[in-house]
Amino acid sequence: MTIENLSQEKVFGGWHKQYQHSSNVLNCSMRFAIYLPPEASADNPVPVLYWLSGLTCTDENFMQKAGAFRAAAKLGIAIVAPDTSPRGEGVPDDPEGAYDFGLGAGFYVNATQAPWNQHYQMYSYIVDELPMLVEEHFPVTSVRSISGHSMGGHGALTIGLKNSERYRSISAFSPISNPMNCPWGQKALSHYLGNNTEDWKQYDSVELLQAAQATRPILVDQGEDDGFLQEQLKPELLLAAAESSGSDVKLRMQPGYDHSYFFIQSFIDDHLRFHAGFLKG
């Protein structure tokens, strides 16, 4: 697969680069960004943290707002941030133009329902196609961890739980923990997967943790002043499911913090150090 470099900037001795490529899985052109720490080279490939962003976001939100590069440079970790959905001419969107479904809201699932199934295969893109592309073109190893925010926190948890052989550790900020039981999740899962709720369980962190013990460590940070906390996020159900299965999930409730990237900035270094312990340990 070929990739096209769209931009690059030197930062903390490393490089932030943005690329475009044609995705066979999503049947459209996709964009992603990568941060390579100073030590990354053909002779010294580095491990990768995959970051999944939330509703309405692109690769740019995390890379520009999270303030993660200083710590990533020091720890010697690459960061890859994909887009949150397929895009382009012919890719269907919410017919009413709502922000919580369609473009910018791929929910990291493989859609089975028309017309969404022609493009919305974000699960396979994140798990298979994107890592293969990154490992082919950049000085990185196949040692990976995964993290994300909100819808991306949901994606990081479900993908990490279902693919423990691919990821050393999992973390999330303000994840949609139980999408089967919240408005955002119910709208997305019913459209992408159909109305059989049994099919939804494979993309629900609470259901996955209730069914089996997690084999990778999980760190979750949640702001107590998050406006979406009660209706959409439900971290207490995630913790209860983890405790019932004996899974290693650490939930930190952070007083005064909301759902924004100010919250992510405040604790991203903790998450990078958490992942570094497993990526380089």
Contact status, residue 53 vs residue 65, Cβ threshold 8 Å: no
Find all residues with CB under 8 Å of 271, minimum gap 6, and list them.
Answer: 147, 171, 173, 219, 221
Q: What is the CA radius of gyration of the chain?
A: 17
Contact status, residue 153 vs residue 176, Cβ threshold 8 Å: yes
Q: How far apart are CA 164 and CA 247, in angstroms?
A: 13
Q: How far apart are CA 117 and CA 102, in angstroms?
A: 12
Name the residues annotated as catalytic. 150, 226, 259
Contact status, residue 132 vs residue 109, Cβ threshold 8 Å: no
CA angle 119, 121, 122 (to 5 degrees): 115
Q: How far apart are CA 273 and CA 66, in angstroms?
A: 15
Q: How many CA atoms lie within 13 A of 151 on its CB side?
A: 28
Residue among 175, 183, 230, 184 nearest 206 (CA) = 175
